[in-house]
Every structure is written in structure tokens, then in C-alpha cells.
Chains A and B, each alone.
Chain A
Amino acid sequence: MSLPAPIADWFARQGWTPHPHQIELFEAEDDTLLIAPTGGGKTLAGFLPTLAALMADARPGLHTLYVSPLKALTHDIARNLARPVADLGIDIRIEDRTGDTAAARRARQRVDPPQILLTTPESLALMLSYTEAPQIFGGVQRVVIDEIHALAESKRGEQLMLGLARLRSLAPELRVSALSATVEDPAALAEYLGGARIVQADPGPAPDIAMLETTHPPPWSGGGGAYAARDVMAAIEAARLTLVFINTRAQAELFFQSLWAVNDNNLPIGLHHGSLSREVRAKAEAAMAAGELRAVVATGSLDLGIDWGDVDLVIQVGAPKNVKRLVQRIGRANHRYNAPSKARIVPANRFEIIECVAALQAVAEGDLDGEGRGPVGQWGGLDVICQQILLTACAGPFDADTLFAEFRRAGPYTALTRAQFDDCLDFVATGGYALRAYDRWQRLVERDGKWHLRDPRAARMIRMNIGTITDTEKLKVRRRTGPALGEIEEGFAASLAPGDTFLIGGQTVRYDRLREMVVEVTPKPSQNPRIATFAGTKLATSTELSARVLALIGNPVAWGALPGHTQDWLELQREISVLPQPGTLTCETFLRGRAYFCAYSFAGRNANQTLGLLVTRRMEEAGLGPLGFVATDYAMLIWSMDPVRDPAPFFAPEALRDGLDDWLGENAVMKRSFRNVAMIAGLLQRNLPGQRKSGKQATFSSDIIYDTLRRHDPDHLLMRLTRAEAMRGLVDFGRVEEMLSSRPEIVHATPPHVTPLSAPLLLEVGKVPIRGMGEDRLLEEEAARMMSEAGLDGQAA
């Protein structure tokens, strides 16, 4: 079967020749996984069978479902598909359906869905929970899953695979095409999909990638890259259309300002990140698609395969953290598929230069990082299963055996056991507590062999809790009159006092007040802002890249690959402290207000996080009053009331496991895991109707629920899931044990002040507080200071 003549003609009129992988996908009669670089016409390939079928028969009803991880992508695809559909004279509706879709349109889509529906995993899960799901989806012929490599990295992918299993039950005819950027292990991804034939596109020529030459060396620390604004501006001027990627939202805001300050030719430059309001984002997207912009500064919200047309340069500000991600980002440049993509990296600080050099060496050697996931069948989280059971119940009564069989058809859950399933079912139905308190008030009840919602009103709350993204609560930011400017995290909002300033949407605003969970602000163009601490997407440097970095730092002979100033900087580290070496565990203690202790393990962020937990526990026992720590891929930094004198006992592997469970149980990392698990599994609501309006903070703190379960029911399903999750992901205990058991030589330096290598850690986000005696001492000091400032005596009885 070749392309129908009208479609082949349409290609010819565009001056295009169909790529072999587009033809291959068109001809496929089975499920497919297409691996192609950006610019390879992936999305069009996924839609060719749909266009041909609808050209022959444009009957009403949902024909093709397109799922992408990003709302922005659905808008973009709708726009791109409109052209061939119009040119080919196909009379169909293409609509998107995301959290942004207006209620009236959503309601209409339930009774009269378009032929092509573009959506996200969360909106799909929501639609599958409607009682009319069988009518909406019963006739679906094709499912196109875009950016599957990105979805498969998180629980969103697990939810989508369960949704796909549901769709296959409702519409046994349907065929799936999944589209992926370059990945290390395509076969594993195909299994994740529940089986698919792999179609490999020609990867195209090797990219032209290098560090951007800058007039000044980068600063010692910081992640903003402001020092290079002029150099980046020059590169933008020399290119047609540039995408500037930067790792966090706050950095994007600041870098955008820096660029604007040196934009002498007033080039049109846009800003795009996930904390901006939908209107602001849509404006940037439309302007870019219309060719009105010369550059866009963006974070991860643009990190996926949006087709921006004529991009000919990608600039990555800040180290790319992960070689695979770098390759995927480079793919954004140059949609002329057969010409090399051009990308330039701007390290934000001197440490990142080393990381960039190591990453460039890895790209040159074609050494992509691994996936970091367990074997197939052990991927799937049971918290996602719990949510899926609840959502299934919202759609109507279900039979447990049938549902279990359906779950097992989802790629990540092929090894799900009946016992695991029954545990999940028991939890959502009865709470699953040792104390059987809810016999009268079960959430699900079994009648005539089928499971029902006991109280149908519960469906509304369950649907509001859909999804596996458990970001911290966001508050809208707006002027007293006028549209929303964007969102900030609740925690950041709580730290603001009236009169404080911060950056959002490229402008500085002053915080006035919090009213009904909306942050009211006044524009304040002239002031120096405090920085909005958006959490952004926190990227972890891959294990492979970390090892390359340590090898480079520890081997002065190889420093020739580094710029002169970086060599000088490492030399300075060697002078005032020591250089980390493979085979050593290098530590530093210095004073900077509080006492700081830094250990360079190069064991990866998760392992360093665990190391931080274990060492702070021993510091607590030793009375040093640890206050908190932060972990990066290379090191962990602890601050405490009193300094560490001798680190060796803190790293003794013998005592490592002693009390590990107890200590882990108490700490914030476990509580964070628990919060995620409990929200996904439906124990904690994220958006209670009316709750935000009342100005109440979270009705119950997840920490309190966690502590209560830990005391009264430590073997509860959610506690087991939390432990398993933390051990697998956040904790990476195996790696810590491995490192310490090899008994590295512990080197302890006491430099006079913060060192070149430790400075970046001071600026890291994601600090973990230690709720021990140190915190009490800190709070007491703070309270006493404020009381005495106010002329009051804080007397204790």
C-alpha cells in the first residue's frame, strides 16, 4: 500500500519527499514505535493513516486520539494538522481537550466528539472515567502517542498505559503509533507500550555542537548565565531563529531580563515557561509560529518536540545534566532533516564547564545515558493502580477479575500480581487499615459480583484528584485589575511580605497581599527583584556523566580539554582545599555564618541525598545540631550549629544500616515520597472544591497523616509503597552502601572559606530541612531575636 495520490500530491506541492519511515508507518498494520530525531516529520508520520482513512470516509465520531505530555503540543499539532486537512479538503473537526479547555466545549465533546481529539494523559484519564466513555471511545481506530520517551520517564506514562489498556478493551480494533526521540534502548520502550514494532528513522548527520565562545569566563557559581548575555545576543543576531533553553523557570526569567538589557537592536524575543499563564504562553507560541520572533527563552515546557518551524540554533544555558536530553534538545534545531543541527552550550558557572566538556565528549562518542528504570513489568507504581481502580469505578460498576486482566495487558504492569491488585482494591474500598473502621462507610462496595462507588457523589472528588503530577500547590499571580500573570509556589508566596518584589513573566512586581488564594501584585519596573523560587523541573545529572566529570577533575593531565580559566579554578581548589579523586571521599568543613560540611561522592543525586540523611542523623546524635542539607549529583552539603571535626565515624559502613529505617521514617524525603504516593492513590485530595476560596491551607498536612500511620499502622499499603519508592528512586541506598563498602580514603580539608567546588551547592534549590534539635535551636534564636527587637521579654514558665 502506497500513499494515496492526493496525499502524495500534497507532499509534492510542499516540495517534500516522504521519508522512508513515514511510508513505513503508513503501511504498518500492527502497533508501531517510531524512533526519529526532531525534524524527521514524526508527527505527520503518525497521522498519515488517519488522514488517508478520513479522506475516504469522514464519518462522525472519534477516529483518532492523539496524546502528548504537553498542552502546548496539542495546540501546536492542531495548528499543524489544520493545513493538510484543509488542503486535502477533508471535512472533519480537530479539537484539543486539556485542562485549559472551556467547560462548554468539554461538555459538547462528551456527546459529540470530533474525529481527531488531541489530549494529555490526565485529560484522557478523566474522559475514561465518564459513564459515557464506551460511547465516546468505542469507535476509535488509531491512537498516536507523542514523546513517549518523555512520558515513560514518569508515572504519567504508567497512567497512560493503563488508559491505553482501557481503550483497547473499549475499542479492540484500534492501532497504536508511538513516537519517540532518540533513546538508548528502543526494545524496552516497545515493551513498555505492551509490544510494538520498532521503526527506526535515519538519525541524520551528526550535530554541530560546541561550547559558546564567551568574552568573559563564567562566574564561580550560580546558574543564571547572565555573564554571557551579550555573547548569546550576538549569536541570536547571527541566526534566523534561536531557542534558548535554561534549566529552571526562575533562571529563565532572569536570563530573559539580562538579554533584554543588552538587546540593542530591539530584536523580538519571547519567554515561555510553565509558570506563565496560559494566555501569555499562547501568545509566545503563536508569535513564534508566525515567524515574528527571533528567539525564545524557554524551560522544560518547550523541551519536547514542538515543531517551531525555522529554528536554526539551539543555545543551552547551564549544563545539560543528561547527555540524552542534550541530544534531544539539539534535535530541535534545524528542521531541514538532512543538514546538521547547530547547538551551543553556555556553562553557567565554572563547575558546569567541566560538565559540558564531559557531555560533549560523551556526545562525540555516541554514549547515551541509560534509562534508570527497573526491568519491564516492575515499572508500574501501585499508587497509579489505586487511582485507576477509583477512576474505573467512576465510569461504572466493574468486575475485579476483568479489571485485573486489563491492567496486566498494560506494558508496565505485565508482572502485576493478583495479591498486589487485591491489596490496592482493599485500600481504595476500605482504607486497608489494621483497624477496620470503615465497614459502614466503604468507598467501594461489592454488590452482585461488581464493585460500585458507595456514594456516587464521591465521583466528583475522585475526578478532581486525577493525575500523577504532584507539584506543590501553585497560587495565581495577578494585578488588582487585569489578567493573571502566572503562578508561583505556595511556599514562595508564604515567604513574601508586603512590599517584597519578584520577577514573573519578565517583569518585576511588588507583592501587595494574598486574597482568596490569589497573589495580588503591582508592577514595579525599577526595583531589584527577589527571585521567584519556582521549583521548575529538577534535572538530575546521569550517573555516566557524573563519573566522567570526576575522572576529569581528578586528573590534571586531562585538563587540557578545559578552558584556561577553568584549569586555574581547579588549581585554586587544589591550593585552598583538595581535589576530589576517584577512590577517595573528599570532604571539606568551612564556616560561613553556620558551619558547613561538604562531601564529594560523585554518586548521583539520590545517593547523595541518602548520604545526607545518614550523616545528619549521626551529627544529630553527636549534638552538632544539623539544620539541613542539599544534595547534587556530585556532593552533599550539610549546615549545622556546630562544625564537624572528624568525618570518619559518620561514614563508617558498619553502623550504616543501624537505625536506618527509623531515621528514614522520620525524615522529609520519606514524607515527600509519602505525599506523592498518597495523592496519587487518592488518600489526599489536591483540589478540594471550595477549599482554596476559604483561604484554608491544606486541610490536613500529609506529614501528620504519615506520622500517624507510622505509629499506628506501619505496614499499611501506602507505607510499603513509600518505602519501596524511596529505596528505589529517592534513596538509592545500594549505591551508598557500595561506595562506602569500597572504603574510599576519607580526605578532610578545612579551607578558610567556601571553596570553588562547594559554592554551587550553596545556591542549590531543594534543600532538605532536618526537624531535629537544630531546628528548635534555630526557631528559638529567631523568636528571641524578634521578641527583643520588639522590646518584649520571652519568658518561659
Chain B
Amino acid sequence: MSGYAFHFAGQGFVARGSGALFWPDQDMLVLSDLHLGKSERMARRGGALLPPFETRETLDRLAAELAAVRPARLALLGDVYDDDAAAAALPEPERRSFREMLAGLELLLIAGNHDAATGVDSHEIAGVALRHIAGTGPDISGHYHPKAQLAGRARPSFLIGREHLILPAFGHYTGGLRHDCDVLRDLVPHGIAVLTGRRALPFPVRHVRPAL
């Protein structure tokens, strides 16, 4: 899977078509918003009974990324689980394979708004903060599940601005926010969106506010 190489806050990165971010100098793979256990949480709350296969799907994709990149370190930027109860309810085979995947990796867990009990609030590396929700830049974050549209097709995408680097959700069944919605265009008024897919596709975004 090919990626798009770029610089952010003086550091080199690769935005991968999978939705994962690779940080070569740190030998680190960064992912956000896995939302494991999402369908279980929906069901628990009386909602629709979605096909209960999304955790398996997400873990399979994570395994494929780890095998392709072979990083020494892995950072998960929050919302690894859809909520703390979902973390506890993860079926045993999934729990085991997740544990096996993480074995031997130096793991950095950031807490998300869905799974506050899971990690630390933020962590700084080489002058860049890693956190769940974008704050004071420069930082790398997730949370908003950005999606961008090119030639009429919307796909999960990275948003790369001057202050903020926002990751798409890596989890299955996650939906998202348009890259041009108010909150995202305040965070990244102009920069590059990188569409995920078979190939990572970068294109420039520049939000001009309409004349009132």
C-alpha cells in the first residue's frame, strides 16, 4: 500500500492509504479511533444489531499494517474502544489476537473521549504533541474522523494543516465529518487532504469563507 510523504512541524511523515500514519524518524506507526466493540455498544443501548464483525475487520487491517511497516513503536490516539464497557466485553479470540499483535511493540496509548480509562491525555515527541482532540499545535490527533470529497467521492482522509495533523478513523463502521464542516475548517483552514484507499491521494484544500 503506497503512501504520501510530507513534512509537518519539521518532521517527515508518510500518510498511508490504510489511514495509518508512519513516522520514520521515530520508527512509529500512529493510528486513531479504532472504536473496537462499536456494534456491541450499539446493541447494548437498544439500537440496531449491526453485523458483529467490525472488530475482526479492524484488527485484520491493523495486523496487515504492522506486517507491512514493521515499526518498533505504535501510538493509538484514543477511542481504541467504543467505550470502556466495550473494552471489557471484547470477545476472547479478538482480545487474544489484539494482545499478540501488540506484543514486542513499544506502545503509546492516548485516552479518547469514548475510552477515558485507557491511556494518558497527551504525550510529546520531538516538539509535537500526540493527543485525541486537537489542542494547541503543533499536534497530531484524531477524534473527528475527517472525510474528504474528490470528484464527488467521499473517503476517510488525513487533514494536514500548519498547526494540526488530523488522522482519519482506522476503525470499521465509523462514519465521519466532512473536511469542510465548520470545526474542521477552523482547525485546518488550508493545507492538504489525503484520501485513503488503494493509494493515498493528496489534494490541496483551501477554505474560503463566503462573502456575507
Contact = CB atoms under 8 A, between A and B. Distances in A.
Contacts of A685: 47-48
Given A779-B195, A786-B203, A704 B172 contact: yes
A782 B150 CA distance: 8
Interface stretch (B53-61, B99-107, B114-122): B53-61
Interface string A681-698: 011110000000001111
Contacts of A795: 4-5
Given A435-B52, A709-B51, A494 B154 contact: yes
A433 interface: yes
Interface in A769-790: 769, 775-776, 778-780, 782-783, 786-787, 789-790
Contacts of A786: 203-204
Contact of B56 (A443, A712, A780, A789): A712
Interface stretch (B26-34, B71-79, B131-139, B175-183): B175-183
Return the 5 tightest CB-CB contacts between A and B, nearest first. Answer: A431-B49, A455-B46, A437-B52, A458-B46, A498-B210
A556 B141 CA distance: 69
A514 B105 CA distance: 43
B112 interface: no
A238 interface: no
A457 interface: yes
Given A437-B39, A441-B40, A695-B177, 8 more contacts: A431-B43, A435-B53, A685-B47, A699-B173, A775-B153, A779-B153, A787-B202, A796-B200
Contacts of B212: 512
A438 B52 contact: yes
Contact of A708 (B40, B54, B178, B182): B54
10 contacts: A435-B52, A443-B48, A495-B152, A514-B181, A682-B48, A695-B177, A697-B177, A712-B53, A713-B53, A792-B204
A454 interface: yes
Nearest to A459: B46
A71 interface: no
Contacts of A794: 4, 202-203
B176 A779 contact: no
A437 B40 contact: yes
Interface string B51-95: 111101100000000000000000000000000000000010000
A514 B179 CA distance: 12
Contact of A782 (B172, B174, B192, B203): B203
Contacts of B175: 696-701
A85 interface: no
Interface string A440-452: 1101000000000
> Taking each of A430, A440, A789, A794, which has the highest tally of chain B beta carbons within 10 Å of its own beta carbon?
A794
B50 A461 contact: no
Contacts of A716: 51
A645 interface: no
A441 B43 contact: yes
Contacts of B43: 431, 437-438, 441, 443
A683 B50 contact: yes
A776 B202 CA distance: 13
Interface in A486-522: 491, 494-495, 498-499, 512-515
Contacts of A792: 192, 202, 204
A13 interface: no
A713 B178 CA distance: 31
Contacts of B49: 430-431, 433, 438, 441, 443, 683
A700 B48 CA distance: 12
A697 B201 contact: no
Contact of B4 (A512, A513, A683, A796): A796
Nearest to B54: A708
B202 to A, nearest CB: 5
A696 B39 CA distance: 18
A712 B51 CA distance: 9
Contacts of B50: 431, 683, 700, 705
Contacts of A778: 151
Interface in B137-182: 147, 149-154, 172-178, 181-182
A494 B149 CA distance: 8
A83 interface: no
A167 to B, nearest CB: 28
Interface of A: 430-431, 433, 435, 437-438, 440-441, 443, 453-455, 457-458, 461, 491, 494-495, 498-499, 512-515, 682-685, 695-701, 704-705, 708-709, 711-713, 716, 769, 775-776, 778-780, 782-783, 786-787, 789-790, 792, 794-797
> Taking each of B47, B57, B91, B209, which has the highest tally of chain A beta carbons within 10 Å of its own beta carbon?
B47
A62 B47 CA distance: 34
B173 A704 contact: yes
A513 B210 contact: yes
Nearest to A790: B204
B210 A461 contact: no
A683 B39 CA distance: 11
Nearest to A701: B175
B208 interface: yes
B11 interface: no
Contact of A684 (B4, B48, B151): B48
Contacts of A769: 153
Contacts of A704: 172-173
Contacts of B200: 796
A714 B117 CA distance: 37
Given A435-B53, A437-B39, A775-B153, A796 B45 contact: no
Contact of B181 (A437, A512, A695, A700): A695
A711 B152 CA distance: 27
A453 to B, nearest CB: 8
A460 to B, nearest CB: 9
Contacts of B149: 494
Contacts of B44: 440-441
A709 B50 CA distance: 10
Given A437-B40, A438-B43, A782-B203, A708 B181 contact: no
Nearest to B43: A441
A709 B172 CA distance: 12
> Taking each of A438, A457, A769, which has the highest tally of chain B beta carbons within 10 Å of its own beta carbon?
A438
A797 B24 CA distance: 12
A317 B164 CA distance: 54
B4 A708 contact: no
Nearest to B152: A495
A72 B194 CA distance: 47
A465 B24 CA distance: 48
B204 A780 contact: no
Nearest to B181: A695
A786 B206 CA distance: 11
B196 to A, nearest CB: 11
B143 to A, nearest CB: 12
Nearest to A682: B48
A514 B183 CA distance: 12
Contacts of A455: 45-46
B174 A797 contact: no
B203 A705 contact: no
A776 B51 contact: no
Given A495-B152, A700-B173, A783-B150, A796 B53 contact: no
Contacts of B174: 700
Interface in B1-15: 2-5, 14
A705 B208 contact: no
A512 B212 CA distance: 8
B66 to A, nearest CB: 18
A797 B23 CA distance: 13
A708 B50 CA distance: 10
Contacts of A515: 182
Contacts of B172: 704, 708
Contacts of B177: 695-697
A711 B14 CA distance: 30
A699 B172 CA distance: 11
A532 to B, nearest CB: 16
